[in-house]
Every structure is written in structure tokens, then in C-alpha cells.
A and B are shown apart, each in its own frame.
Chain A
């Protein structure tokens, strides 16, 4: 017996969880809009450091994709080090987000004040938690890359695809969120 779809069931499950995560952020951004339209809303500009973090996370998406391509082509060293680079960039993204929160705080937008600021912390914070989950997945992938003998097997290909697709998802999720936040502030 066979699967009815061309797509692997585990991948399909991952896509469904994307829909689920997306709904959570839709809930948060809708709450933002509803609250904003009610007035008493602090206006401030999103600190530019968040744009740098956006570039960093997009770069990490590119590097993990290249790492995957190298994996398929059997270029072991390129595959390993591009994956290391992706993890470093992912980690850098978290550091930059933290720096962004510090800057927000410095311009007087603190976590506890007007919900206008709290929303930026909450949305970027919950997103960062999802990125940390992705970094965890990449860490496992790194462990495999450096401990297992290099071999392209269907199971490893699938694992890599699941990791990379989740990573792309949280990256583009951030792009949506930063565009949303910039437009609303």
C-alpha cells in the first residue's frame, strides 16, 4: 500500500503545523490591530537594528539552502560549513533581537508601558522562541553532520528537508512580522 500523495506524510504534517503557527501569529497581529484602533496608542519608530536582524535571518535561509544543495551534490565540506554558518547566523539573529529590545527600552518604550510597545516585545519574543526551536533542530543536524559518516540516504535527506523548511518558515514569518510592525508603527 502506498501514500496517496506525492508528498511525504511527515512533511505534510510539518506544513499543517506551519498553518497552526501562522494562526497563532495571525491572532497576535489581529489583537494588535484591534487594540490599536481603540486609541490611546503610543507612536514610535521600530529601531533600525531590527532591519539588520531581518537581513541576517534571510542570509541564514540562503546558507541553509546552499548547504542542502551541497549535501545533494555530495560536497561534504561545503555542506558542513554552510550549516555551521546557518546556525551562527540564526544565533546572531537572536542576539540582534535582544539588542533591539535593549534599544527599544533605551528610547523609553518598555515592556510594561503602553500596549503599543508591549506588542512589539510579545510578538518578536514569541517569534524568537520559534527561532530557538529552529536552532535546536539545526544543532541536531550539525551533530549528525559531524558525527555520522557522510552519506546521502533518503532518511537523512528527509530530515534535512524538514529542518530547512521549518527554518525558511520562521524566517519568512519574521519578514511578515517586521513588515507588519513597521507598517503599524
Chain B
């Protein structure tokens, strides 16, 4: 009883349970968390190891997802070429006729498109991006020993792993993985007999994504709790780096939106397994009428997009946070408009919940209701423009280091502008009606949330690689990676806008048989060739990554970039608990560059007499 105070717990108790104690290492002879191979590298509860696990799993999926896109781009660019050479990899999905001509099975084409979307959106850009950097940076930049619950954090990764394993298994089913589009709209997803992938493939897809949501929620609960509870002394909310603000808001958005997706999934599971009719009504299949009456497929679309729209911000906000940090560090200037950056992220986060129906302008939504969604969709352009303005203003007059992380961060800004502008077109329901489901949409979202988010991730990997592995990545390979990727990415997606404006629909198996689209043959060839080159450049990145882990230039200075944030106060290769002695205390905001005649003043340096803290104005 003596330990329990009026408010519940005294500090001792908190410290004992969370290991946040200043005397952390006094009681830490032999680290129980990292005592053997399994607890260090596999079932690790250390946030830095979990971050690396997320990153490497994400990279594995990125290669699979991108390789899939190469296969379907080959089909679109060269529909008359012989694909028999892919038979050793794709097996029966390449049908070879007597003349030796191999063709991609049309149902597998749909499976590839579906899996490409699912994998990249969820496994790479959600788990691989926010999972990696939230885990790595939240404790390190806030001055915490670890996450609030290392155990839940470990579970978060292993649920992701389980989800990955189920999805990977579904790729090898004899009926193929799910093939009804990454959005899994009913009735294709609700009726096992609807297509080859709608059977076991869809069951596994649902199972996999349900595990995935568990992973995101466990991670998100941990991130929010850690940010609100475990900041070091002096680290007020307004002294947090923008990375942390971004991860924090991302986690909140995920916690509020993913459960709604799950409720949509539950109803879908009931329709599939228990014979209910939430999404099904009056359907004829194979010439027979089904008994299901009274359901509405639009209901699923509402539930799906209530997650689906916030999901794109779950992807892009962490990238924005990473880019803000990298731009400021390598421009040697304070981020322009720190508070405006936070406020615009808050605004984007809030608005993301009230615009979902702009994905459904063509689903028979009442045009008056559409107006509401058009209005709020277009308002998102305001905070987005604030952010772009601030990034450019940060660069303006900066003493810019054009190294790999900085190049990718600048590339992100370019892509975000190009992709964001086409969002204004599509956000108007009147323009969306002719544009919907065309390559214009494909170009828009690939640039603004696909490639841009990848660029944010690359900026983060190049910048924090020294923190993760104690070595630098190779600069020459990094620059080749950047220049090739930015040119190649525009070469892929820029022409797609024109295809879309000409009405070329997405998800079609081939265009050369359509009178209206066959003259785009050369454009499609060009896009495919560009995609192959960009894919090859990502292999350069993967080689650079793994080569540098073992052979990269060693980091000798604890703060190699001259940054101000706390992660650079740890030893070069921090152990469990991050700091060897006491935790660092924070005295100022994180963006004091070029102040008082000094290149940078780190966060742990006390304010000079009469000095104003930068975050306060």
C-alpha cells in the first residue's frame, strides 16, 4: 500500500516497469532482452531491431510487388511477345500453345494487379515505411529507452509477419491469389464462385489483412502512448521534431480508421461464410439466381473508403515528416513554419476522415452529397500547399548538401507537387466522371502516394542508415539510384496522364485489340521499358543497402550530419536502452541551424542567457 499514492502510482513504479530510470544501467547487468540470438535478432523487443525487421520485410515485399508490376507491364507493352521464358517462374499462369507462343493467363493478370496494389499499399508503404521509422525514431528522438510496451511492439511485427506469410502462401494457390482489385469490392470478393481468385485466394486475403490490421493497431497504440507518456525531460510537444508529429498523427489516423475496415471485413466474411446478404442482392451467376436479397455493395465501398482514404495519409504523412527533417538538416536551415507544418498535418489528418466518398463519385452517390465531398477534398489542397510552400522556403537560401538523402527529399517535393495537382482535377466530381477508372487516376495516385512515399522512405533510409547500421550507404550508388529513379518515374507516369485523358481504362488486359486505344502501342512500350529500367535501379539500391551493412564506410562521429535531434546523442551503435548513462534532457526546439553564428545548436544545449526558444514564435 505504501507504494500507491493518490494519483495511482508513484514515479518509482513507473520507472521500474518501463525502464525509464536514470539509473537504467545500474540494474542492467546482462540484458535480458538481448541475451541470445533469438531474443536479439528474432523475437526482439528492442525498438531498433523491430524497425530493421519491418524495413527488411518491407523491402522483400517491395521487390515482389514491383516485380509483379514488371510482368503486367510486359503484357501491356508487348502483348504479342512470347512470354514462354517466364514459365519457370510463373508456371501454369503462362499458357504455351503448340507454336511455342507463351501468353500470360488473363485471370493471373488480374491477380497480379490486385496483389501489386495490396502489397505496395499495405505491406510496403504502411508497414515498411511507418513501421520502420516510427519504431526507429520515436524512442530515439524523444529520449525514451524504448516503446511503452516492447512486448506489444514485438507482437506488432510478428502479426505483420504472419499476415505476410498468409499472403505469400496465397500467391502459390492452384486457383491463384485474389484477383478482384486491391479494394476487394463485392460481389467479386463476396462470392467464392465469382472468379478463380475469389475462392481460397480471397479467404486468405481477408485473413492476411485482418492480421495486418492487428499489427497496425498494436503498433499504433504503442506509438501514441510512447509519444504522449515517455518523452524525456524538456521535450514538450512543441519541441518534438516533425518526424515525431507525423508518426504520432499517422498512428492516430490508423487507430481510428483501420477498425472500420475490419467491420467491413467482418460483414464480408459473414456474406462469404454464413450466407448473409449484407453486400449481395439479386445476383445471377452462371445462369442461376442466388438467394441473397437486400444487400448493397455500396455499403462495403463506404466502409472500405472510410479507411481507404485516411490510408493514403497514413502512407504520406510519415514520408512528409521524414522529408521535413531531412530537408532542414541538409539545407542547414530551420524548417520554415514549424507550427504551420504541424497544423497543416493536423488539418490533413482531420480532413482525411470526411472525404472518403470522392472515391465513389461513380457509385451512384447522390450528386448533392458529392458536393460536400468535393468541397472538403479540394480544401485538403490548402494544408498541402502550406507544406509545399514551407519545404521550398526551407530550401531557399539554404547551404544545401546535395547528398542522397537530400536529393530524395527534394525529389519528394517535386513528385508531391506533380501528383497533388492532378488530385485537384480528380477531386471535382464533374471532372472525375470522365476521368474515373482511367490511367489518369493511375498516374495521379502512383505519383502522389506511391513514388512520393517511396522517395520519403528512401530519404529516410539514406539519412538514418548510419543510425541503424553504424555505416554509411554508398553515395555514388545512391546518386545513380536517385537520378535514374526520378527521371524514370516521371517517364512511366507522365505519359499515363495522356492515356487517361484519351479515356484508356485501367485494369484492362490489353489495348491493341481496341480500335480506340491501339494507337497508344508505342506509348505503352515506352512506359514498360521505363518501368524495367526503374526496377533495375531499385536493385542497385538493394545491393547498396546490403553491401553497406557489412562494407559501408564506418561512422566515426556520433553526429555525422551535424543534426540537432536526440538520436545522434546515443553511441554510434546504441544497445538496448539507447543511452549508456542518463537520458539526455531537452532544452530547445529541434531546428536551431545557423543561429548565433553557429552552424547548428543541438536540442540538448541549454538556451543562452536571454535567448528565445525557436519553437515559441
Main secondary structure of the interface of B (DSSP, over half): helix
Select A3's contact among B14, B22, B222, B264, beta carbons within 8 Å: B14
> Which one of A9-17, A55-63, A76-84, A171-179 is at the B interface?
A9-17
Query: Would B148 and A122 count as touching, CB distance under 8 A?
Result: no
Query: Would A26 and B260 count as touching, CB distance under 8 A?
Result: yes
Which residue of chain B has its CB nearest to the CB of A14? B221
Query: Would A111 and B274 count as touching, CB distance under 8 A?
Result: yes
**Given that A5-B229, A13-B152 are known contacts, is A21 also in contact with B259, CB under 8 Å in the complex?**
yes
Let me know if B539 is at the binding interface, CB within 8 A.
no
> Which one of A30-38, A46-54, A96-104, A133-141 is at the B interface?
A30-38
Which of A8, A30, A119 gathers most chain B CB within 10 Å? A8
Q: Which residues of B are found within 8 Å of A2, using beta-carbon distances?
A: 11, 14-15, 20
Which residue of chain A has its CB nearest to the CB of B257? A23
User: Which B residues, 1 to 49, have Cβ-Cβ distances below 8 Å to chain A?
Assistant: 1, 3-4, 7-9, 11, 13-15, 17-18, 20-22
> CA of A6 to CA of B278 in the docked complex: distance in angstroms?
45
Select B230's contact among A3, A16, A116, A152, beta carbons within 8 Å: A3
Select A1's contact among B20, B152, B217, B267, beta carbons within 8 Å: B20
Min C-beta distance of B170 to chain A, whole Å: 25
Query: Would B18 and A3 count as touching, CB distance under 8 A?
Result: yes
Which residue of chain A has its CB nearest to the CB of B143? A1
> CA of A155 to CA of B13 in the docked complex: distance in angstroms?
8
Query: Would B222 and A13 count as touching, CB distance under 8 A?
Result: yes
**Given that A2-B20, A122-B266, A157-B4 are known contacts, is A23 also in contact with B276, CB under 8 Å in the complex?**
no
Which of the four size classes fits the interface of chain B?
Answer: 35 or more
Query: Would A9 and B230 count as touching, CB distance under 8 A?
Result: yes
> Which one of B295-303, B311-319, B327-335, B405-413 is at the A interface?
B295-303
Let me know if B463 is at the binding interface, CB within 8 A.
no
**Given that A3-B229, A20-B255 are known contacts, is A115 also in contact with B295, CB under 8 Å in the complex?**
yes
Q: Which residues of B are found within 8 Å of A153, using beta-carbon distances?
A: 3
Select B275's contact among A16, A40, A111, A154, beta carbons within 8 Å: A111
Query: Would B231 and A4 count as touching, CB distance under 8 A?
Result: yes
Let me know if A70 is at the binding interface, CB within 8 A.
no
Let me know if A91 is at the binding interface, CB within 8 A.
no
> CA of A35 to CA of B7 in the docked complex: distance in angstroms?
46
Query: Would A6 and B8 count as touching, CB distance under 8 A?
Result: yes
Query: Would A31 and B299 count as touching, CB distance under 8 A?
Result: yes
Query: Would A8 and B295 count as touching, CB distance under 8 A?
Result: no
Query: Would A17 and B221 count as touching, CB distance under 8 A?
Result: yes
Query: Would B228 and A154 count as touching, CB distance under 8 A?
Result: no
Query: Would A12 and B228 count as touching, CB distance under 8 A?
Result: yes
Select A16's contact among B225, B233, B257, beta carbons within 8 Å: B225
Query: Would A158 and B9 count as touching, CB distance under 8 A?
Result: yes
Which residue of chain B has its CB nearest to the CB of A117? B276
> CA of A30 to CA of B357 in the docked complex: distance in angstroms?
14
User: Which B residues, 266 to 294, have Cβ-Cβ distances below 8 Å to chain A?
Assistant: 266-267, 270, 274-278, 291, 293-294
> CA of A9 to CA of B278 in the docked complex: distance in angstroms?
39
> CA of A124 to CA of B353 in the docked complex: distance in angstroms?
26
Which residue of chain A has its CB nearest to the CB of B232? A1
Query: Would A115 and B294 count as touching, CB distance under 8 A?
Result: yes
Which residue of chain B has its CB nearest to the CB of A152? B1
Min C-beta distance of A13 to chain B, whole Å: 4
Query: Would A27 and B303 count as touching, CB distance under 8 A?
Result: yes
Query: Would B276 and A118 count as touching, CB distance under 8 A?
Result: yes
Q: Which residues of B are found within 8 Å of A13, using beta-carbon distances?
A: 148-149, 152, 221-222, 224-225
Min C-beta distance of A166 to chain B, whole Å: 13
Let me know if A126 is at the binding interface, CB within 8 A.
yes
Min C-beta distance of B609 to chain A, whole Å: 27
> CA of A119 to CA of B148 in the docked complex: distance in angstroms?
37
Q: Which residues of B are found within 8 Å of A24, using beta-carbon distances?
A: 259-260, 262-263
Let me know if B583 is at the binding interface, CB within 8 A.
yes
**Given that A4-B231, A24-B259 are known contacts, is A115 also in contact with B277, CB under 8 Å in the complex?**
yes
Min C-beta distance of B283 to chain A, whole Å: 15
**Given that A2-B14, A20-B221 are known contacts, is A27 also in contact with B259, CB under 8 Å in the complex?**
yes
Query: Would A115 and B266 count as touching, CB distance under 8 A?
Result: no
Query: Would A154 and B225 count as touching, CB distance under 8 A?
Result: no
Select A17's contact among B21, B217, B231, B263, beta carbons within 8 Å: B217
Let me know if B306 is at the binding interface, CB within 8 A.
yes
Q: Which residues of B are found within 8 Å of A183, using beta-carbon distances?
A: none
User: What are some 25 contacts across the A-B interface (CB < 8 A)?
Assistant: A1-B21, A1-B233, A2-B14, A8-B8, A9-B149, A10-B225, A17-B217, A19-B255, A20-B221, A20-B259, A24-B259, A25-B263, A27-B259, A27-B303, A31-B299, A31-B302, A35-B299, A40-B293, A112-B291, A114-B294, A115-B277, A118-B276, A122-B267, A122-B276, A154-B9
Chain A contact residues, CB within 8 Å of chain B: 1-10, 12-13, 16-17, 19-21, 23-28, 30-31, 34-35, 38, 40, 111-116, 118-119, 121-122, 126, 152-155, 157-158
Q: A27-B303, A31-B263, A34-B296 are in contact. List 4 more A-B contacts (CB 8 A).
A: A1-B15, A10-B149, A12-B228, A13-B221
